[in-house]
């Protein structure tokens, strides 16, 4: 299963990407997390449905100092996960 999440709220500058990477890594998900130019965080995750459910709960909670106002979620085709390896942070400056 492949899911795309857009997390809105106070999610940049609070360690959100590192939090997501740690949570997804523990669940052995494949994919990436990155900041968007408009202040959100974007996640693409592939794995077992139960593990993706756990990630969803973590995204709603977020790390200390964050505030999650809204999560927009889309299910993608399995082909979108081709070439994904271990979970990583994209676009680190």
Separation CA 58–CA 79 (nearest Å)? 25
Which of the four pLDDT bands, split at 50, 70 and 90, describes residue 92?
low
Q: What is the pTM of this model?
A: 0.94
Q: Catalytic: 17? A: yes
Q: Catalytic: 35? A: yes
Tokens 């998900």 sit on residue = 29
CATH number given to 2-75 = 3.30.70.100
Give per-residue pLDDT as tens, 41-78.
999 999 999 999 999 999 999 999 999 999 999 999 99
- How far from 22 is each of 40, 44, 56, 61, CA to CA, in Å? 18, 14, 13, 14
Q: Which of 17, 22, 30, 34 is catalytic?
A: 17
Q: Which of 10, 22, 35, 70 is catalytic?
A: 35
Domain spans, the chain? 2-75
Question: Would you state the structure tokens that stand for residue 39, as one six-digit string?
Answer: 């202040």
């Amino acid at each position: 299963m492949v899911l795309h999440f857009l997390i809105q709220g106070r999610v940049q500058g609070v360690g959100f990407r590192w939090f997501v990477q740690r949570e997804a890594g523990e669940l052995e998900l494949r994919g990436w997390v990155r900041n968007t130019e408009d202040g959100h965080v974007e996640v693409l995750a592939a794995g077992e449905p139960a593990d993706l459910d756990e990630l969803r709960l973590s995204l709603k909670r977020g790390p200390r100092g964050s505030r999650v106002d809204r999560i927009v979620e889309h299910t993608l085709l399995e082909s979108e996960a081709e070439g994904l390896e271990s979970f990583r942070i994209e676009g680190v400056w």
